[in-house]
């Protein structure tokens, strides 16, 4: 019963994480229209492309959208990070409870 509750929590928290990731990605896509922030926020694009300045929107990496979103709307980014940590905690607890149950089965035999 405890394992089923953990699986439900894991599934729900993973869906919340995916929803918040989509929201952050959408909010961060505003970086394409904000030419002023290209050189200050698109750090990953500069590293991946090996250039010093971003000159077109096609050079911007999708990961930079999350940085832009965290910079301009940190509440949603923090919620996404917290939901990811909850997913990890629920996954750890689920694996731990399965491992404990398997040890009990082996001890009974």
Does residue 109 register a pLDDT over 60? no
The pLDDT value recorded for residue 52 is 82
pLDDT at 105 over 70: no
Name the one residue in this structure whose structure tokens are 């607890």: 93
User: Residue 39 has what pLDDT?
Assistant: 82
Domain boundaries, the chain: 2-108
Q: What is the pLDDT of residues 34-71, one digit of tens each?
A: 888 888 888 888 888 888 888 888 888 889 899 999 99
Residues 6+ apart with CB under 8 A from 9: 90
Alpha helices in 1-109 (DSSP H): 2-28, 38-41, 43-49, 63-72, 74-108
- Entry pTM: 0.81
Tokens of residue 57, six digits: 């929107």
């Amino acid at each position: 019963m405890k394992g089923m509750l953990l699986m439900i929590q894991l599934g729900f928290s993973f869906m919340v994480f995916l929803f918040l990731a989509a929201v952050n990605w959408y909010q961060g896509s505003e970086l394409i229209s904000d030419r002023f922030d290209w050189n200050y926020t698109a750090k990953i694009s500069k590293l991946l492309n090996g250039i010093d300045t971003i000159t077109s929107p096609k050079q911007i990496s999708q990961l930079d959208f999350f940085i832009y979103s965290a910079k301009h709307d940190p509440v949603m980014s923090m919620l996404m990070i917290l939901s990811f940590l909850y997913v990890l905690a629920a996954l750890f607890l689920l694996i731990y409870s399965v491992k404990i149950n398997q040890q009990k089965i082996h001890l009974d035999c």
